[in-house]
Amino acid sequence: MRRAFRIVAGVLGVAVIGLSLPFAITSFTDDAESIHRLHFVAGVFASGLLLGGSLLICAWRPQSIGPFWVAVATGVASTIAGLISGDFISGLWFTAPISLVILIALHPARSSLLKIDGIEVVTTLLGLVALVPAVAFALTQAELQRNGFVSDPHVEFHHYSGMASYALSLPLAAFAAALLVPGRRIAGWIVGVTGAGLGLASLLLSDYPGAFRPTWAWLTLAWGVALVAVAELRREAS
């Protein structure tokens, strides 16, 4: 069971990273793909790092429960985004819950997944602070996906629902990182760097579709830095 879990988590992690990083690179080298630059760069953080990175850590150290719950939170965000955007099937978002069920079933420490020693208060509050703006942004992007013209390449390639998923993943993953379980420090780092990365990408690529408005971009950047700081301070206190 342990070997099967590590193989599945590792393959999924590599696949997620492999489906995000090359597109981001291409958006800077191919003028035809440059219109997707923000979406692809955001995908490197919110898909490649947040989900793919968490899965690779799980494959390396299955006993690291924190990153596993971050991966679960990201999968839940993808599922919700696909449902509210109307492209749950066509956008392949249905693969998220299927993958989660398989990973939970194969997890060698499945009986320990719900053994939580408590919740870190500040990280939880940061998740709550991000929840309302994340939901608002996700609903806006979901509407663009549902009602956009088929000729819009961002609709065609499900980039609006992707941004909805990325936004929802931030507060949900923060809640996961707040769980006092093994691997909580690296979970906090992953979520924090993802948030900071999305904020920075929106600042540097502010003219591209999907970018957070400058004020929200700065706040998201600061939010991510705060999560990393809490993860380190929590480590010192433990």
Amino acid occupying residue 18: G
- From first to last of its 238 residues, the chain has per-residue pLDDT tens of 789 999 999 999 999 999 999 999 999 999 989 999 999 999 999 999 999 999 999 999 999 999 999 999 999 999 999 999 999 999 999 999 999 999 999 999 888 888 899 999 999 999 999 999 999 999 999 999 999 988 899 999 999 999 999 999 999 999 999 999 999 999 999 999 999 999 999 999 999 999 999 999 999 999 999 999 999 987 644 4
- CB atoms < 10 A from the CB of 125, how many? 14
- CB neighbour list of residue 113: distance below 8 Å, 6 or more residues apart: 65, 68, 69, 104, 107
- CB neighbour list of residue 210: distance below 8 Å, 6 or more residues apart: 38, 39, 42, 141, 154, 159, 160, 163
Residue 237 has what pLDDT? 45
Residue 151 CA: distances (Å) to CA of 60, 94, 147, 155, 159 = 43, 24, 12, 8, 13
Distance separating alpha carbons of residues 64 and 67, to the nearest angstrom: 6
Distance separating alpha carbons of residues 76 and 92, to the nearest angstrom: 14
Whether 194 contacts 170, CB under 8 Å:
yes
Distance separating alpha carbons of residues 122 and 180, to the nearest angstrom: 12
- C-alpha dihedral (98, 84, 153, 33), degrees to nearest 10: -60
Residue 235 has what pLDDT? 66
Distance separating alpha carbons of residues 174 and 88, to the nearest angstrom: 24
Q: pTM to 2 decimals?
A: 0.94
* CB-facing half-sphere around the CA of 71: CA atoms within 13 A: 34
Whether 34 contacts 28, CB under 8 Å:
yes
Q: Phi and psi of 72, rounded to 5°? A: -60, -45
Distance separating alpha carbons of residues 65 and 62, to the nearest angstrom: 7
Residue 2 has what pLDDT? 83
**Structural domain boundaries enclosing 171:** 2-237
Residue 112 has what pLDDT? 83
Distance separating alpha carbons of residues 105 and 127, to the nearest angstrom: 27
- CB atoms < 10 A from the CB of 210, how many? 24
Whether 66 contacts 176, CB under 8 Å:
yes
* Overall domain count for the chain: 1
